Amino acid sequence: MPPEDFDELTSDAGEVALVQTTEVIADPLGHLSAEQVESIYQRYLEGEKVRDLFTEFSIKTNVNSLLPLLPHLERKDLTCPHCASHATQKRAARSNTANKPVCTGCDHIFPICRDDTCGCSACVNEYLGQLNGNGIHCRVPYEGLTLREKIILLAALTMAGPTDVACLSFVQLQRWHRRLAPTSEYQNKCISELFSRHIILVSSETSIDALDFYRQYERYDFL
């Protein structure tokens, strides 16, 4: 433990003892201006040692890292499409890429790369709405199904197990059972036909990974 982390106590006999400081500094950067804080961060990015910056600017803290002490960047140039709040962005370390901005009013995450997607509840519901179209409100009645469609549905439900199942995962059918169709291409064709007629819809229980996979490859059998 370095000497600066201890307080001196003097006894009646004149002896000096060192005791460990347990004080927690609520705001180690509270004595600095906003300009000084930004200057410290820029010098950190340029490679200066954190210990030297702490010493120069009299920063007293129990942590040995700078980033947890720094305020997040205010991104008022970004407005959440769901709640209209602005975003904040966690500062990046020297060797890392930029962190994704996060909405201050909900759990929406702003993309920083072209292929980035957000898994917040509002974005997922919006994407499910795009996939399912008006199928939620205009379900195909049983009498409107063709014989082929009834056979595909019956085969899938039989493989899924319980007869009262409300939703099923085709990727789980592949993992635990033989394929629904002779080939994966024909299986995807069967599933696509059901989706295109809104006979089956993408469930709200679908994982974010499965939705991202479909977004990239348009493979229904992984939903």
Domain map (residue ranges) of the chain: 3-68, 138-222
* pLDDT at residue 13 in the model: 45
Could you identify the residue written with the tokens 């019956």?
154
Compute the distance between CA of residue 64 and CA of residue 50 in angstroms, rounded to an integer.
Answer: 8
Least confident of 13-27, 102-116, 142-156: 13-27
In the predicted structure, residue 173 carries a pLDDT above the cut 60 = no
**pLDDT higher at 192 or 149:** 149
In the predicted structure, residue 28 carries a pLDDT above the cut 60 = yes
* pLDDT at residue 21 in the model: 45
In the predicted structure, residue 124 carries a pLDDT above the cut 60 = yes
Q: How far is CA 21 from the centre of its chain?
A: 38
Q: How far is CA 106 from the centre of its chain?
A: 12
Q: Report helix angle 121-132 to 208-217, nearest 10.
A: 50
**pLDDT higher at 108 or 180:** 108
Compute the distance between CA of residue 129 and CA of residue 123 in angstroms, rounded to an integer.
Answer: 10
pTM above 0.85, yes or no: no
What's the chain's average pLDDT?
79
